[in-house]
């Protein structure tokens, strides 16, 4: 991969951002993506800009020049400055957030810290991320009991109707005693749906139920105002949509609950303060964390936040319409309020079994260098696309035709097999 000195990167950034087209392929030179790779799955792992990658190396070199000074003095000062900047970006008190490696670390720290009585219950939805479900499974066997962890099933209607979702939830709550905590997504992964978490948080607080929001896909993808949302616990990755170096994650804990929450690793900050406990968890490379500040700076050179959010949101909607028309299918979500930077499109009709879906997945990744997340949901088969500032509608049209060609080949192969 070709590397650029910082000055060259800065000049390249200025020249691109001053051009007539602010978004789309003109921004690709700012990232390190393989030109042969059409990244319709940005949401899984994100992509750091070249500018952020250069800043990463600067932090790493500072640590190498004087490890003692870096770890004993400088990195703590840098992390304090970062929390100030990040807290302003998400609108919360700097002391109410800490940085961990990823959403998995954040969710695990919270769920494994909370202590419940034997008659108290945790609720979650069937669209929860796999890691969340497995962590709940762990706490149900190692810490609580299986009866204390209850799943609520949502379908294609309840995921895009907050009133109906809350009614379904209330029906479950009415049959369960002492619901203490509910875990839900801000933007679910597969299928990808943006939930009205502000309404949901207010509803559950009115019932005395703590809220743990998995916002892994939120930061950098949509506007995030934690004071306005006022969750009890909130976790969001920075590397998915903010363009930071992998990996880092913001964990927000309401002030009066911070004494309950501890990191998975116990180290020298134990029993000191919320910040102290999560800051020093042993010797590690803090560089990825520190690039959060640089990623925010990078975004400001591209456009203002509302313009970035709007471009990705509209591109996700347009892509859903395009692919649904091309495949003679439909999108899962019909109300734009429940679409963020990702969209779910029903796959061509031939893909009607898990086996066929997996065959298509293998064909795309092995023969076309395309990763297309797919899922069966509510008895239909969908793919998920991610919209991003360096993408254009033509990218998704190209992938759409590749999928059609792959499916037609699969049909032909199955006919030959049947004849034999």
Domains observed in the chain: 68-295 (3.40.640.10), 305-419 (3.90.1150.10)
CB-based contact 211:201 (threshold 8 Å): yes
The Cα–Cα gap between 53 and 287 comes to 10
- Helix 287-302 to helix 6-17 angle, to the nearest 10 degrees? 30
- Residue 24: what pLDDT? 97
Q: Judging by beta carbons within 10 Å of its beta carbon (0-12, 13-18, 19+), is residue 291 exposed, middle or buried?
A: buried
Residue 418: per-residue pLDDT: 62
Residue 185 CA to residue 197 CA, distance in Å, equals 8
Distance, CA of 87 to chain centre: 18
For the chain, 420 residues long, the average pLDDT of each consecutive 10-residue run is 48 48 91 95 97 98 97 96 98 97 97 91 97 95 86 96 98 92 98 98 97 98 98 98 97 97 94 93 95 98 96 98 98 96 98 97 95 97 98 98 96 64
DSSP E strands, 76-191: 97-100, 121-125, 149-152, 179-185
pLDDT at residue 348 in the model: 98
Q: Which residues of 56-79 are buried (b: 16+ CB within 10 A; e: fewer)?
A: beebbebbeeeeeebeeebbeebb
Phi, psi of 249 (to 5 degrees): -155, 135
What's the confidence (pLDDT) of residue 416?
59
**Separation between Cα atoms, residue 230 and residue 45, nearest integer Å:** 27
* Per-residue confidence (pLDDT) for residue 419, from 0 to 100: 56
- What confidence score (pLDDT) does residue 2 get? 43
pLDDT of residue 39: 96
Which residues 6+ apart lie within 8 Å of 115 measured at CB?
260
* The pLDDT of residue 13: 55
Q: What is the pTM of this model?
A: 0.93
Q: Output the pLDDT for position 12.
A: 52
Concatenating the DSSP letter of every residue in 100-123 gives ES-HHHHHHHHHHH----TT-EEE
Residue 41 corresponds to which tokens in the numbers above? Answer: 């799955």
């Amino acid at each position: 991969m070709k590397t650029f000195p910082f000055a060259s990167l800065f000049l390249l950034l200025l020249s691109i951002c001053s051009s007539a087209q602010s978004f789309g392929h003109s921004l690709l030179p700012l990232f390190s993506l393989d030109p042969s790779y059409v990244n319709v799955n940005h949401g899984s792992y994100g992509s750091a800009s070249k500018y952020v990658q250069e800043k990463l190396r600067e932090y790493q070199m500072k640590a190498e020049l004087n490890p003692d000074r870096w770890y004993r003095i400088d990195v703590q000062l840098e992390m304090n400055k970062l929390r100030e900047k990040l807290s302003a970006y998400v609108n919360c008190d700097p002391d109410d957030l800490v940085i961990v490696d990823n959403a998995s670390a954040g969710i695990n720290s919270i769920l494994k810290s909370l202590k419940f009585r034997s008659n108290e219950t945790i609720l979650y939805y069937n669209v929860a991320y796999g890691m969340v479900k497995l962590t709940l499974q762990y706490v149900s066997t190692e810490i609580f009991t299986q009866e204390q962890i209850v799943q609520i099933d949502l379908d294609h209607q309840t995921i895009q109707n907050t009133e109906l979702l809350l009614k379904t939830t209330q029906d479950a709550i009415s049959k369960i005693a002492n619901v203490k905590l509910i875990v839900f997504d801000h933007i679910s992964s597969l299928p990808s749906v943006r939930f009205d978490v502000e309404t949901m948080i207010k509803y559950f607080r009115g019932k005395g139920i703590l809220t743990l929001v998995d916002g892994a896909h939120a930061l950098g993808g949509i506007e995030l105002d934690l004071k306005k949302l006022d969750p009890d616990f909130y976790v969001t990755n920075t590397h998915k949509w903010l363009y930071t170096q992998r990996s880092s994650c913001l964990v927000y804990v309401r002030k009066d609950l911070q004494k309950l929450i501890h990191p998975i690793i116990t180290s020298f900050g134990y029993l000191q303060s919320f910040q102290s406990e999560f800051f020093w968890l042993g010797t590690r490379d803090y560089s990825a964390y520190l690039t959060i500040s640089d990623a925010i700076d990078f975004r400001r050179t591209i456009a203002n936040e509302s313009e970035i959010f709007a471009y990705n949101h509209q591109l996700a909607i347009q892509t859903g319409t395009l692919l649904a028309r091309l495949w003679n299918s439909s999108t899962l979500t019909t109300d734009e309020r429940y679409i963020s930077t990702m969209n779910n499109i029903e796959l061509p009709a031939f893909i009607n079994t898990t086996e066929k879906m997996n065959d298509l997945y293998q064909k795309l990744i092995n023969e076309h260098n395309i990763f297309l997340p797919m899922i069966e949901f509510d008895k239909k088969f969908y793919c998920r696309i991610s919209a991003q500032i360096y993408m254009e509608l033509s990218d998704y049209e190209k992938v759409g035709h590749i999928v059609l060609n792959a499916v037609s080949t699969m049909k032909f192969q199955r006919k030959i097999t049947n004849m034999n």
